[in-house]
Every structure is written in structure tokens, then in C-alpha cells.
Structure 1
Amino acid sequence: MTPTPPPPRRDAEAEVLHGGNTSGPVLRVGGTVRKQWHRAAPSVVHLLRHLEKHGYEAAPRSYGRSLTGDQLLEYVPGTLADQGPPLTAAELRRLGGLLRRLHDLTASYRPRHPQQAVWDVPIPDPREEVLCHNDPAPWNLVRDGDRWVFIDWDGAGPGTRMGDLGYAAHGFVPLHPGGDPHAQAARLRALADGYGCDRAQREELPDAAHHRVRGMYDLLVEGGRTGRAPWADLYARGHADHWGPAADHIARHRALWLEALLS
């Protein structure tokens, strides 16, 4: 059964929401969010409805396609995590748990028409363990009291558990240059503990984080070289200046973080 979106108030006006770096304008109208329909949208809609069916609260409800041809999603009130203080160790464990439940739910997910499933994964991984969010970052986590919701599922698709968790570690620990590597080690350990990583996953996590962060840098540089949208615009705005040094930082402290994860 297709969820029915809440009717907009008579006085509801379109409000441009923060974000939309890669997906075009994002508008709020009443209790809904409207954004551009794209080639992977049918697959994303079906995935979000699967998550809703199984009680996964960290994703917005999908209402399908609007009469004007846009994606129609639940509007989730709250504050983006990148607009607040860094997550505490307890909150990092909670975040790890949310990603674990997501991956466990998608491990057994099957598209309605597998041969027609289309995904738009920015940084493809040769291994395809589960369906991932692929951009679980502070700018995509809305917190409203006790409810935490990942938004912007346009890049969802096949990937690896540790690739998704490693990308989250980059943004939420965060694994950024200039931070204390020892403090980052403890926070990375909290995230992995919350996920319930086994030994093999802990051994994989630092390299998976590096793969994803270096992959983002390479994507931006290639976009700048070829003019491919939207990466060319992000490259021109200086985004690669962060991702390249961040990848170097992760590679430099891999041994320290691996020791903390396995201790």
C-alpha cells in the first residue's frame, strides 16, 4: 500500500531547504519534501518503503512521485548534526547501531524487479555486500529529540558494510586533519562498538574509510578535469581541498587506529 502524504496547509508555501549539492533544489511544502526525480528514484522509493515496512525509523517515509513529477518524501523536523556539537561517545555508539540495523535490513532486501533495479552510487565498490546509504554524514543526519533520521538517499545502492561505516567515521568521529589521532582512535572505537563489529570488520574499517575518502577526492578531481556535474561545481568550490588531506590523514594514522579497534 502506498503511503499517503499529509495534505499541505492552505497557507503552506515552498521553503528552500539547506543542501541539494548534488540533487538540485530541495523544497519543503507543509509536511513533505520535494526534490528532483532521477533515474535511480524508483529503486530508492522501493528501498525506503522496505525500510518503513520493517520499522526502520532512521529513514524518511517515501510517498513516491508527485503529480508534478518530483520525489515526494516525509519532511523530518529537527537540526542537522553538522549544525550542533560533535557527537558524544554514547551518540557515536548509537549511530553505529543505526547503520548496523540498516545493513542488516538490506542484506535480505530484494528489488521488486531485480533486472530493472538502477542505483546511482557515486563511488562504486567492487564488493556488494548490502545496500548502503553511501552518504551517512553529519549534513545528512537530522535529529529531533529522540528521533534520528538519515536524509538524502539519492546515492543509496550496493556497497560494503565497512565502507558505509568508514564514510560515517570520516564525518562523525571526525577523521579530519588537525584533530588528535589518539582521541580519534577512541571515538572510532565507540562507533565500531556500536555497530557490533567483529574482528574481521575492525581490521577492515580503517582501509575502508580510506578507500571511501580517497574515492571522494578522486571523484571531485575527475569532475574538475572533465566538467562532469555536479562534481565539477563542487571541485570549483574547493571541496577537494578537504578530501585529499583527509585521505592522507587516515592513511597516516591507520596503524594507531587499527590497534585501538583491536585492543
Structure 2
Amino acid sequence: MDVEEELTGGNVADRVVRIGATVRKPALAHTAGVEAVLAHLDGKAFALDGKAFAPRTLGRDDQGRHVLEYIPGTLADTLPPFSVDELRRLGRLIRELHDAMATFDPPADAAWHPVVPDPAGGDLICHGDLAPWNLVCGDDRWTFIDWDNAGPSTRLWDLGYAAQTLVPLLPTGDVTVDAPPLRAFVDGYGLDHEERLAFPAQLAARTRGSYELLVRGHETGEEPWATHYANGHADFWGPAAEYSALHHDAWVDALIH
């Protein structure tokens, strides 16, 4: 008999479990879109250094749950901060992901669940939560999991959140210390000159969006954001947004010189 091991940490799906080499998640309205995204990436053989960067989708089980490949390794949020070389590698990986998704043709009836959509819109289907708590680091493979927040976005909006969380840009940061790793991350991705000029504003706006999500949750009672607000998460995201916005010109200078 298969043994179910409950997994923790997600914000969207209830009771995610591991069974052997698979993960099972309740199927929700947006699951079909997620399945299409992961099937596309698998079909594109999307990989850097020959290693797939997303879990494989494996259909549904007899309980109707979404079945995914279990990815062994360690979540990045439990590891030391990334080195400059590792941030450059992460930038390349995210660039490859975005390039692979540029040829994705979404199902016409797909429902999406982006929690902080780009207010300007966008037609690139992005992960939406590229963060260390969704990055599994193995000996020879780095894999982003938890694609429930995938949806229409833009490269800079998705990349801005990734930079804030992965570099990371903390409220207590020092711009002279944070600028070089941010530059390495952006160099790895390969932004052009005009994109580098625009990127710091997108980074700050996306970080502000995370704070506003928590405030709305507090005001409306929407979960899990109301609980996250009560647990003090807004006390991080508000100052983080202020830090990113305050040093806009320094970020631009670091990225173009």
C-alpha cells in the first residue's frame, strides 16, 4: 500500500502529499493550465547543463489529484545565500525558462491563478513565484516547483520578483553590497540596455505588489494572505518595497556601467 507523506509550505493547494517518486496535489480550476505549461516545458527539453528545470506532469490519480514528479534535494531557502556565480547561473536558468515559454500556446479555456499579476498585462505565461522556497537544489539539478501561480505576465515582472527573493534584496540591505550580486543575476539573464534601464522600477513595483496583496488579504479576510499578514509578513514586504524603490538610481547605475 502506498504511504502518503504530507508536504508543507504551499499557499494555494490543500494537503499536498508525496507518494514514492510522485507528488499529489488537489486539482483546482487552474490545474489544467499548469499541466499544459509543464508538458510544454518537458516537450521542449527545457534544460541547462542537460538537467530539466521543472517537474514533469504525470496526469491525474484515481482521486482526481494532479500527479507530478517528486524532485529530491534541498529547498534553497534553507541554504546559505547564493554566490555571485550561482546568481549568474540562476539568471541564465530563468532566461532559458522564459525563452522556452515564448513558444507556448496556452489552451483557449485555461484558467490562471497569478496572485500578483502585472498591472500592465502581458502575454508570456510565467511561473509567478520564482523564489527560494520554490527552488529545489540537488547535486546536479536546480528545479522550480509549485507552478500554481503561473499566468500571463512579462519577463521583467517575473524577473523582478525573482531578483528580490533570490539575490535577495532585504529591507536591511546595503545597496553597495547588494548591487554587485544583482548585476551578476541580470548579467546571467542577459537583459539589454533598455531593459536594464526599466528593470529597477519593475523590481520595486513587483515587490510593492506583494505588500499590497497582504494588505488586501488583511482587509478582506482572503486566505492565506490574511493569515500571512497577521503573522507579520507585511512587516517584511513593505520595507523591502521601500528599499528597492529608494535605491532605483543606484540599481540602474550598477546595471549599466
TM-score for the superposition, normalised by structure 1: 0.92
Matches of 1:88 and 1:104 in 2, distance apart? 24
1:199 is matched with: 193
1:58 pairs, out of 53, 57, 60, with 53
1:192 match: secondary structure: helix
Matched, 1:122 2:115: yes
Q: Structure 2 matches for 1:99-248, cutoff 5 A?
A: 99-111=94-106, 113-114=107-108, 116-125=109-118, 126-248=120-242
2:184 maps to a residue whose letter is: A
Q: Which runs of 5+ in 1 are unaligned?
A: 1-9
Provide, for residues 46-82 of structure 1, a one-character-per-residue CA deviation record: whole Å limited to 9, x for no partner.
1100000111211000012221021111000000001
Instruction: Tell me the distance in 1 between the aligned counterparts of 2:212 and 2:99.
Output: 29
Aligned mates of 1:98, 1:129 — CA distance in 2: 20
The separation in 2 between residues aligned to 1:236 and 1:64, in whole angstroms, is 36
Q: Is the 8 A contact 1:129 1:161 kept in 2?
A: no
Alpha-carbon distance in structure 2 between the residues aligned to 1:25 and 1:241 = 28
Secondary structure at 1:149's aligned position in 2? Answer: strand
- Partners in 2 of 1:204 and 1:34 — Cα distance? 39
Alpha-carbon deviation of 1:233?
Answer: 1.7
TM-score under structure 2 normalisation? 0.94
- The CA distance in 2 between the partners of 1:65 and 1:235, in whole Å, is 34
The separation in 1 between residues aligned to 2:57 and 2:219, in whole angstroms, is 36
Distance 1:170 1:33 in 2: 28
Q: Which whole-Å deviations, capped at 9, do the CAs of 1:210-250 have from their partners, x for residues lacking one?
A: 11110011011001101112211211221111110100000
CA deviation vs aligned residue, 1:165-190 (integer Å, no higher than 9, x gap): 11011111111111221121101100
1:129, CA displacement in angstroms? 4.2
The secondary structure found in structure 2 opposite 1:121 is coil
Structure 2 residue 10 is matched with structure 1 residue 17: no
Deviates more, 1:217-226 or 1:198-207: 198-207
Could you tell me which amino acid in structure 1 is paired with residue 31 of structure 2? A
SS state at 1:184 partner: helix
From 89, 92, 98, the counterpart of 2:93? 98
Residues matched between the structures, number: 251
Runs of 4+ with deviation above 6 angstroms = none
User: How far apart are the structure 2 equivalents of 1:123 and 1:246?
Assistant: 16
- Which one-letter code corresponds to 1:181 in the other structure? V
Partner Cα distance (1:121, 1:242) in 2: 21
2: CA distance between counterparts of 1:129 and 1:185? Answer: 30
Supply the AA of the counterpart residue of 1:131. Answer: I
Superposed displacement of residue 258, structure 1: 0.8
Quote the residue 1:6 is aligned against.
none
C-alpha contact 2:25 2:67 (8 A) present in aligned 1:
yes
Distance in 1 of aligned mates of 2:60 and 2:135: 23
What is the alpha-carbon root mean square deviation over aligned residues?
1.1
1:28 is aligned with what amino acid? R
Give the whole-Å Cα distance in 2 for the aligned partners of 1:123 and 1:232. Answer: 15
Q: Distance between the aligned counterparts of 1:36 and 1:182, measured in 2?
A: 45
Q: Give 1:43's match in structure 2, choosing from 33, 42, 64.
A: 33
Change (3 A) 1:190 1:148: same
Structure 2: gaps (5+ residues): 47-51
